[in-house]
Structure 1
Amino acid sequence: MELGKVGHKNQIKYSNLLPLNQLWLSYIRKVLGVESFTSIPENSNNPNWENVNQQLIKADFHGAKISIEKSKCPTLVGLTGIVIQDTKNTFRICGLDNVIRTIPKDVVKIHIHLDNGVILKAFGRQLRIRPVERAVKKFKNTRIVQL
């Protein structure tokens, strides 16, 4: 085995990504403009909800802990992990079992796990833009489409 060779399945461990998740939680607090995630409005009738939604769509998800709530592909439902790569069409996550999986965005509804038990829900389809482009794009308020 050569030193510095990458690509081995067991190189990334879930436990080693926990500090990245803590850094992401700090980042997302700043993005959403909240001290605590418990201050995020709980329903879409709240006037501040649209701002939260817009900021969330534009956010970078590298380091976020996500789980798959619904999917057109039943084998994806229930998968949980920390995002290690966010591309236009996929999330690559490292699961609790230290296995790296690729999740297609267009067929899933995800839970984004924040601290204090707060969970935000999003359709992967709404995040199907490269993270760099998502950060600067203006989004229109659209109808929610079911999977």
Structure 2
Amino acid sequence: MASQPAAKDQNQDHVALDLLKSAHSSDTANTIFNERVKLRPLLLRPTSPDPNRDARSKRQYERHQKAKAQRKSKKPKPLSAKQKRALCIYDIPQSQQKYAIYEPLHRMWCEYMREILGLSDGRRTYVDALSAGPLLVSADYHGALVEVTRSRCVSRVGLKGIVVKDTKFTFEIVTRKDELKVMPKEHTVFRFEVPFEDEQQRIEAGAEVAGVQGEDVKGRRPLVFEIHGSQFESRAPDRANKKFRLHLDPDL
């Protein structure tokens, strides 16, 4: 009996009860205090060690985490875009800006285009826009011998060279004068040719027929294509994995 008045006096001195009485009646304040404050369980995080892990396992785990952190700190971080530009990683050095260096690349590219267009076996002698259009859009143009036929910048018209770098917005070409030119794709039309057969094979075939007939034989004229650079404003790997659909272009 003597402990009840002491508990009552303890509740009367509690700060939470005083705050509740300022907003509610005395009975309501006592009820809320007993149910929401006094009898509410206090959740504490256990501080005792994990019984499932002994001291030896704990030391092994700590050594493993420490070694993992050291390996991660020693791993070199990749260069940022700013650092790559400062180091000129993707720039072609002056000694490599020679047209003769990229002529074998152009011959390989011609063979690559004949293969994707179905001209390598010699059965197909023509292409149309419906069949060749998606193939040309998704093709890789590193090694193509392109010529600027139309451009908003008149000084670029007539420039011709082998594509050595196909970026998202530009074609970097090396001309016959061993000059590196950066050609923007936007508002520019490029022309390139795809021969039906390799130049050396055409010469050999012409020599054989000429020896039989006693006259010179001219090979078939190459296929000529024109592409609008605005439609190729994407990286070569992205174009290879992208599906294109026919749509009207206001610039055409």
TM normalised by structure 1 equals 0.84
Contact 1:10 1:99 (8 Å CA) reproduced: no
Residue 173 of structure 2 aligns with which residue? 93
Q: Which runs of 5+ in 2 are unaligned?
A: 1-90, 196-220
Residue 24 of structure 1 aligns with which residue? 109
Q: What is the CA–CA distance in structure 1 between the aligned matches of 2:155 and 2:116, rounded to whole Å? A: 32
Equivalent in 74, 77, 81 of residue 154 of structure 2: 74
Equivalent in 135, 140, 156 of residue 60 of structure 1: 140
Residue 126 of structure 2 aligns with which residue? 40
Larger relative helix fraction:
2
For the pair 1:120 / 2:225, whether they are aligned, the reply is: yes
TM normalised by structure 2 equals 0.50
Residue 15 of structure 1 aligns with which residue? 100
Q: CA deviation at 1:138?
A: 0.7
Q: 3-state SS of the aligned residue for 1:126?
A: helix
Residue identity opposite 2:126 in structure 1: I
Contact 2:146 2:163 (8 Å CA) reproduced: yes
Work out the number of aligned pairs and report it.
135
Contact 1:66 1:112 (8 Å CA) reproduced: yes
Q: 3-state SS of the aligned residue for 1:39?
A: coil
Tell which structure's C-alpha radius of gyration is larger: 2
Q: What is the CA–CA distance in structure 2 between the aligned matches of 1:119 and 1:77, rounded to whole Å? A: 17
Q: Which runs of 5+ in 1 are unaligned?
A: 1-5, 42-47
Q: 3-state SS of the aligned residue for 2:168?
A: coil
Deviations 1:94-114 (A, max 9, x none): 011110000000120010122
Q: CA deviation at 1:30?
A: 1.3
For the pair 1:107 / 2:152, whether they are aligned, the reply is: no
Deviations 1:9-55 (A, max 9, x none): 3432112211100000011111112235x8233xxxxxx42120100
Q: 3-state SS of the aligned residue for 1:132?
A: helix
Specify which structure has the bigger relative contact order, considering alpha-carbon pairs within 8 angstroms and separated by 6 or more residues.
1
